[in-house]
Amino acid sequence: MVIRKAFRFRLEPDETQQALLHQFCGQARFVWNKALELQQRRLERGVPLLRYGDLAKYLTLWRDSEEYGFLRQGSVHTQQQALKRLDQALWEGLDRSNPKGFPGFRKRGVHDSLRYPDPKQIKLDLSGWDEAGRRRLPKIFLPKVGWVKFRNSREIEGTIKNATVTRRAGHWYVSLQVEVEQTPALPPLKVTALDLGVRNLVTLVDGTQIDPLSPLRRFEEKLAWEQRKLSRKKTFSRNWYKQKQRLARLHGRIANIRRDVLQKLTTWLCKNHAVIVVEDLKIRNMTQRTKGTLEAPGTNARAKAGLNKSILDRGWGMLVEMLGYKLAWRYGLLMKVGPRNTSRRCPRCGHTDRANRPDQSTFRCVECGFATHADQVGAYNILSRGMEKLRDEGRDTADASVGWLEALLSSHSPDRLFAEVFGEPGLSPV
């Protein structure tokens, strides 16, 4: 399977190159606006819109003309790409259900971008070093701009298909779209589910507990501390702004570490499982309260709870998203199920009762006496619900190439699942 990935790097163009990039963006914008005007006039007169092929012919005329001959300074490809995008935006805009609506005229400095569609024209030189031999100076060749330095922050893999240069917040970036041949390694036919408990502890179905955000715990005190410091400053004073900035930097650091940790965890999970079941976040938020909250809040606890909540909200969504695409790369499946009663239902006999949960961490079935750690019960119920869903609709939702599905389902039949997880025969739950 060939998948597409994007690598985005910060460009470091010199002044001449910056001027050129600005100029070429201006030309692409000019072409966009000119063609949009043309199309609008046709719409007003009730004449059918021109398609890209016709617009491209206009572009040739403009480039050859006296009046718009300045367009010849820029690469024809990037100008054609502007027309292609306009063409697409127009046709999408005609569809009234499209929330983006009809495309508008481009303004200077807004959405400045250049797309280079021809990979043959894009070259990379990663061999350069600065004069002192200390810093690497990788360069990318962009048609009509020349060799531009860039920060090669990640190793580029795959074959480059196109490049897009954009300007955001005063900096130029290049995004390289590549194609990578992903050998469809058959995922191990293992399944698991994640249960998210209080304090962001993730429990796997085998009882393993992971605290993916433990590297962030050490920030809790610091964050609460800096927050308190902010609250003591006079609002909008110089020191208040300074403190606010310090707080923002701290949040930024936390966000980076969180992303990093979640990347590692999800990579590991997806390498080792074919199917991962999680609770549906949207439904979860509605039922949040039933899961129990943190201890009685003092000021410090409240600040901690604040951090906790932000980790939970953003971290969990991010985790699920990463699982989704990483599993897809490996032909695996992510299933989402409703979280209702997952902590109260007995995995062995199916009896669902609030009384099955005497406290936060214990599960003891009042009907059959089955007892284990409460979080594992949660994970198990999520898993069995996910497998049920897969059995019902998996053949439709799963990619046709997922050849392992049948084998997986037969090796994880409902009555075997319990034995597999808890190591004893089940009572064939209803």
Catalytic residues: 195, 279, 375
CB closer to Zn ion, 281 vs 349? 349
Name the residue among 184, 203, 185, 188 with its Cα closest to residue 412.
188
In the complex, least distance from residue 424 CB atom to Zn ion, rounded to whole angstroms: 13
Of the CA atoms within 13 Å of residue 76, those in its CB half-sphere come to 12
Distances (CA, A) of 283 to 67, 225, 314, 317: 60, 34, 15, 13
What DSSP letter does each residue of 355-383 carry, written as one string? GG-SSSSEEE-TTT--EEEHHHHHHHHHH
Would you count residue 9 as binding Zn ion (CB under 5 A)? no
Neighbouring-strand partners of residue 154 = none
User: Residues 325 to 384: which contact Zn ion by CB under 5 A?
Assistant: 346, 348-349, 351, 365, 367-368, 370
- 15's CB contacts (< 8 A; 6+ apart) are none
In the complex, least distance from residue 290 CB atom to Zn ion, rounded to whole angstroms: 20
CB closer to Zn ion, 153 vs 428? 428
User: Residues 61 to 80: which contact Zn ion by CB under 5 A?
Assistant: none
In the complex, least distance from residue 413 CB atom to Zn ion, rounded to whole angstroms: 20
The helix (H) or strand (E) run that includes residue 11 is strand 2-12
CB closer to Zn ion, 336 vs 385? 385
CB closer to Zn ion, 164 vs 356? 356
In the complex, least distance from residue 427 CB atom to Zn ion, rounded to whole angstroms: 7
What DSSP letter does each residue of 263-317 carry, written as one string? HHHHHHHHHH-SEEEEE-HHHHHHHGGGG--PSPP-HHHHHHHHHHHHIIIIIHH
Q: Return the DSSP state at 119.
A: G
CB closer to Zn ion, 280 vs 367? 367
Name the residue among 240, 315, 234 with its Cα closest to residue 278.
315
In the complex, least distance from residue 423 CB atom to Zn ion, rounded to whole angstroms: 16
Number of residues that bind Zn ion (CB under 5 A): 8
CB closer to Zn ion, 32 vs 370? 370
Q: Return the DSSP state at 186.
A: P
Give 350-356 contacts, CB < 8 A, sequence gap 24+: 350/429, 350/430
257 within 8 A of 314, measured Cβ to Cβ: no
For Zn ion, the binding residues (CB under 5 A) are 346, 348-349, 351, 365, 367-368, 370
